Amino acid sequence: MAANLVGEKLAQATAILDELGVDLWMIVARESDVLGDPSLPLVVGTSVTWESFFFISRSGERLAIVGTGDVENIKQTGAWDEIIGYVQGPTTALLDALERFDPRQIALNYAPDNNMADGLTFGMYLKLREMLGKTRFWERIISGEPIASRVRGRKSDEEIRRIRASIATTNEIWEQLEEWIRPGASEREIAEFMHEQLNRRGLSSAWDWNYCPSVTAGPNSPIGHAGPADVTLERGQLLSLDFGVLQDEYCSDMQRTFYLLAEGETEAPAPVERGFRIISGIIRAAADALKPGVAGWEVDQVCREAFAREGITEWGFALGHQMGRSVHDGGTLLGPRWERYGRQPYGIVEENEVYTLEIGMTVPGYGWLSLEDDVVVTANGCEFLCEPQTKPILIG
């Protein structure tokens, strides 16, 4: 990651600490290639092997305590000016640093309801308790959720630029698919075609390769985070894909639905057209409701009310999630107040957050119709980062 992006995010973190009145954000990590705090790539910009402690203070100081073998690696990010390397163990350096900073609060990344702010493992928590449990610092520990969540959610200019670029690539791939797709292709072949597009560009999928894309062809295919099956696409059926790319460390996440014209048809049949009107209409209405200051669940509510009004099956997922470095970028969720989503739907939408808006419905006899667009929240509303799909993409 470019040092300037880490620099942007670190500056943001300091401003957020000030806004929240918190003295110190301490990120703890080890073997981060395997299991690393999700904030690490944003504000540290590299991985670590040994137990590491990153101090970001309200006054703008930045200190890293890392195993000696990681020192060069942190140095090369260019974002951390004070780096303490240890050989035998970190406790002494950690205690010295806490004495020096003497923060009134120490924010750690744990959050029952927000995986993106929940990077501290339980074992590391127990270890911290061993190190600090008898010091005055232990009672100063608070959850870093509001910090991690804001640093992640509020996209910088560079982050939005990268997301736009990922979406542009995704649009290119949709066009390639439109040219290539034909009756008789199996879901598996369609997924292989999409993977080939990624490979050719040297890109990764935005989520698990095995179900990115997820492909739903016609009325006989399972829906959800499922890998593609041997189901074959036929004329007179809908084809829906959920797909995103990871490019330059940032994601896109879109759903597009195609209709394969039956013999003699020149346009999609009425039930399909009606489905597109309903689904794209709801996405439009949700976008109209999305602006700084509303709660996530209020935007989701728009979609649930519309489904009830149309008399179709309720949407069993959240209407939208944040997107960025990860495809589910955590924090505020445009979702219903269900147990599964915890506190996330209660979050308040902020400017510069990027969300997906996604819903789908079954069109009986034709298949699964789903749309997903990406938007960025502006000062007074939101802006689409892609051209929203409003009609079926017809395949002759």
Q: Rule CB under 8 A: which residues touch a copy of itself?
A: 30-31, 33-38, 46-47, 49-51, 67-73, 75-76, 86-91, 108, 110-127, 130, 199, 202, 207-208, 210-211, 222-227, 316-317, 326-328, 330, 338-340, 342
In whole angstroms, the minimum distance from the beta carbon of 36 to a copy of itself comes to 8
Nearer to a copy of itself among residue 33 and residue 387 (C-beta):
33
Nearer to a copy of itself among residue 28 and residue 349 (C-beta):
28
How many residues appear in the chain?
396
In whole angstroms, the minimum distance from the beta carbon of 279 to a copy of itself comes to 18
DSSP state at residue 349? P
Whether 356 and 253 have beta carbons less than 8 Å apart is answered as: yes
Dist. CA 203–CA 131, nearest whole Å? 42
Whether 254 and 176 have beta carbons less than 8 Å apart is answered as: no
Identity at 96, one-letter amino acid code: D
Dist. CA 235–CA 396, nearest whole Å? 9
CA distances from 201 to 169, 253, 283 (A): 9, 17, 30
In whole angstroms, the minimum distance from the beta carbon of 332 to a copy of itself comes to 15
Nearer to a copy of itself among residue 120 and residue 167 (C-beta):
120
In whole angstroms, the minimum distance from the beta carbon of 143 to a copy of itself comes to 8
| Pairing verdict, β 106-108 and 24-29 | parallel
Dist. CA 246–CA 248, nearest whole Å? 7
Whether the upstream peptide bond of residue 90 has omega within 30° of 0, thus cis, is no
Identity at 271, one-letter amino acid code: P
Nearer to a copy of itself among residue 150 and residue 328 (C-beta):
328
Nearer to a copy of itself among residue 134 and residue 340 (C-beta):
340
Nearer to a copy of itself among residue 179 and residue 314 (C-beta):
314
In whole angstroms, the minimum distance from the beta carbon of 63 to a copy of itself comes to 18
Sequence-distant (6+) residues with CB within 8 A of 155 are: 163, 324, 352, 353, 354, 376
In whole angstroms, the minimum distance from the beta carbon of 293 to a copy of itself comes to 26
In whole angstroms, the minimum distance from the beta carbon of 178 to a copy of itself comes to 26
> Beta partners for 85?
66
Nearer to a copy of itself among residue 199 and residue 378 (C-beta):
199
Tokens for 75, please give them.
């140095």
